[in-house]
Amino acid sequence: MNSLIVLDEVKKEYPMGRTTVQALRGVNLTLQKGKFYSIVGPSGSGKSTLLHILGCMDVPSSGEVWLNGQQLGALSEREMTAVRAREIGFIFQAFHLNPILTAQENVAITLQFLGASKREAGLRARKWLDRIGLGHRLDHYPAELSGGERQRVAIARAIAKDPTLILADEPTGNLDSKTGREIVELLREINHQAGRTIVQVTHDRELASLSDETIVLRDGQVAAAPQST
């Protein structure tokens, strides 16, 4: 069985005053190990909600989510936090780098939080920053880096802990088109070389075309989904 994530009739509702907003309306989806997916759709279609559920940052109102054969709804909040920390790497539009830490320290501190020694964390951070072309910027602070370089640091931070799944929420949103394409091509390279499953949310259909499969959301439902193999 090559399935990494299975969503079965997943719904998500948010109370808003006297009404209820239905962000997801019965999503059925299977994502395979080692593939690169893009989620696209108009504003309000449920893209970010779906990504948050995939990343264990939110839970469905109903339906089931399975990750590596484990039903996430059966886990306690503490267990969900552990899964999120251990198995999922996050890349955000806004980078979320600590301004008082260097590029290497920004990557290493996440590894130390997960139990790595300071020395081991530093070596692994250096390895991944080298691998993505920032070996010459290890000791630079975020303010001394370009937007593309800061996003590369965020990518190194996500992949250095060796996650099962990498989620990227509009990773090119703060970048110019050329740099944005370079970032998505880097994600594709990491997907191919490291064999990690990557799911990105993007509004750019051209960048989505660089992934293996595209998932189209419309009105909280999957309008087009990848074929399970």
Average pLDDT over residues 61-74: 91
Judging by DSSP bridges, how do beta strands 36-40 and 62-67 pair with one another? unpaired
* Dist CA 59 CA 50 (whole Å): 10
Classify burial at 175, counting beta carbons within 10 Å of its beta carbon; exposed 0-12, middle 13-18, buried 19 or more. Answer: buried
Q: What sign does the dihedral 67-69-72-75 (CA atoms) show?
A: negative
Q: Could you tell me if residue 3 is inside a domain?
A: no
Q: Could you tell me if residue 64 is inside a domain?
A: no
Specify the DSSP class assigned to residue 226.
P
Q: Could you tell me if residue 94 is inside a domain?
A: yes
* Dist CA 41 CA 24 (whole Å): 13
Contact by Cβ (8 Å): 128, 172: no
pLDDT of 167: 95
pLDDT-above-70 percentage for the chain: 97
Tell me the CATH number at 81: 3.40.50.300
Q: Which of 38, 10, 37, 4 is nearest to 23 (CA)?
A: 10
Specify the DSSP class assigned to residue 98.
-
Q: Could you tell me if residue 93 is inside a domain?
A: yes
Instruction: Give me the number of domains the chain comprises.
Output: 1
Q: Which of 114, 211, 194 is nearest to 155 (CA)?
A: 194
Q: Could you tell me if residue 203 is inside a domain?
A: yes
* Dist CA 166 CA 197 (whole Å): 6
Q: Could you tell me if residue 20 is inside a domain?
A: no
Collapsing DSSP states into helix, strand and coil, what is residue 190? helix
Q: Which of 115, 90, 104, 159 is nearest to 137 (CA)?
A: 104
Q: Could you tell me if residue 4 is inside a domain?
A: no
Q: Which of 107, 171, 179 is nearest to 142 (CA)?
A: 107
Q: What is the pLDDT of residues 13-52, one digit of tens each?
A: 988 888 888 999 999 999 999 999 999 999 889 999 999 9
* 118-131 helix and 103-113 helix, angle to the nearest 10 degrees: 130
Q: Could you tell me if residue 44 is inside a domain?
A: yes
pLDDT of 17: 82
pLDDT of 229: 44
The residue segments making up the domain with residue 115 are: 34-52+76-224
Q: What is the pLDDT of residues 103-112, one digit of tens each?
A: 999 999 999 9
